[in-house]
Structure 1
Amino acid sequence: MARNQLPRGPSQMRHVLDVLKPQRSDKFRESFRVSPCTFDKICTKLAPDPVFSNNSQNEQIPLADQLAVALYHFGHDGNGASMQAVADWAGLGKGTVHLITRRVMTAVLRPSFRESAVQFPTADEKELAKSWVEAHSCHAWRNGWCLVDGTLIPLYDRPHWYGESYFDRKSNYSLNVQVFIFIYFICNSVYLS
């Protein structure tokens, strides 16, 4: 049986990486949920991971493109997060989007990356954070040096296994994610730039 190929349009990803990244960081951030500086730092940290190299005659897509696809995928939900929607945006095939997302998650979940990305503060860093809290809020909160908050990440559909466990108070299927922010990072924009 003959294959029915889906014609691909021009890649919106190229426009975001090549035009918006250097000229309009606000629009770049809308697509990837990170600033261009943070994007470059993540690329640098992920570059040595062996998942992004192979011994094949066919080279992988550049790491920046792979990270762009994964971040775009993670930053959308519902129909906008479907493999086909991401593939159309990136000018790739659905299978390629799946492979790229797996590669990026494999690299991010390695202990070496996690240990370099998530570190608990030193005593001096805690003291600096406490001073910031006192200066920017009330004196009674002086001993606070971190923030904890949660958010719901909507899922496209009910998960097959234990799906009822994912049904939230807003009548959606979602994952509950808890975020821990060390205040020192808020004071020093180099980490969140």
Structure 2
Amino acid sequence: MPKLSSRKNWIGQLQKQKHQLEDESMDDWLDMLVFQEWPSIGLILAEDNEVMTLMFEWLFSEADEVGDLLQRVINSRYISSRIKDLSHEEYSLGHLLSLSPKNLQQVVRTTREGFLGICNLIKNSNIFHNNSTCAQLDICQQLALTLERLGMNGTRTSVGRLARLYCISRGGVVMASGWVIEAIYQIGGNYLRWPNLEERQEISSYMAGEGFPGCIGFLDGTTFPLYQRPGLDGKVFFDCKSRY
């Protein structure tokens, strides 16, 4: 069953009160206050304060007064003030870079030098430069956000946590991650390539001496934990830390 918002609930209750006042005499109205099946106007507006409840009952004892209040609620999109979150302009990248090497590496999965080096490599990517009137999050902040997200287990809760940490929307977290991955992919060919025939023979010869005949390459480094075992070739994702 869908849950009504506070505003919609107020509107429904006020409409009931207004109709009751219009249809019933004052005596019937007083009887209804005692035997009613729905909250009175005072309980709607001040449920936890007995004095304020009585005051609202007295103030809104006429149908016209309840009608005026009902119209004000209908014309108001929100019945309470909204709490403004911090914007990403108020988030301090300097605070991130001032973390100790150990804490920074836990966040961005690399050293300070490595992090800034990647920032410099991707900062000129066209993915970060468009004609939009909405300014993007700083590129280094987008990179930090993406690296930290890759270090999580991939559940939806990670998006909400990062949105609160970096003071942006949940959609912004997803978009920034995609932009950074695309920017890194664009320059990937400059740093990752398949070895040629001569290089494969050299690597294979060396690895055979280490007990891995026919091996022409291997990977090592930071792993990105997955939420669950992949359905396709899941066993090859199992690492030395018993994670996928």
Kindly indicate whether residue 198 of structure 2 is the aligned counterpart of residue 118 of structure 1: no
Secondary structure of the equivalent of 1:86?
helix
Percent of aligned pairs with the same amino acid? 19
1:113 positional shift:
1.4
Q: How large is the RMSD of aligned CA atoms in angstroms?
A: 4.3
1:153 positional shift:
3.2
Q: Who is 1:56 aligned against?
A: 132
Please give the alpha-carbon distance, in whole angstroms, between the structure 2 residues aligned to 1:93 and 1:45: 26
Please give the alpha-carbon distance, in whole angstroms, between the structure 2 residues aligned to 1:139 and 1:87: 46
Q: Which has the larger share of strand?
A: 1
CA gap of 1:33–1:155, structure 2 versus 1, over 3 A, is: same
Q: Who is 1:153 aligned against?
A: 225
* Pair member with larger Rg: 2
Question: TM-score normalized by structure 1?
Answer: 0.59
Please give the alpha-carbon distance, in whole angstroms, between the structure 1 residues aligned to 2:234 and 2:158: 21
Q: Is 1:84–1:94's contact at 8 Å kept on the other side of the alignment?
A: yes
Please give the alpha-carbon distance, in whole angstroms, between the structure 2 residues aligned to 1:152 and 1:73: 9
Secondary structure of the equivalent of 2:131?
coil
Q: Who is 1:36 aligned against?
A: 112
Please give the alpha-carbon distance, in whole angstroms, between the structure 1 residues aligned to 2:132 and 2:233: 44
Please give the alpha-carbon distance, in whole angstroms, between the structure 2 residues aligned to 1:129 and 1:91: 49
Q: Is 1:87–1:93's contact at 8 Å kept on the other side of the alignment?
A: yes
* Matches for 1:51-130 after TM superposition, within 5 Å: 51-77=127-153, 82-109=158-185, 112-121=186-195, 123=198
Which stretch of structure 1 is more off in the superposition, 49-58 or 74-83? 74-83
Q: How many residues align structurally?
A: 157
Please give the alpha-carbon distance, in whole angstroms, between the structure 1 residues aligned to 2:86 and 2:155: 18
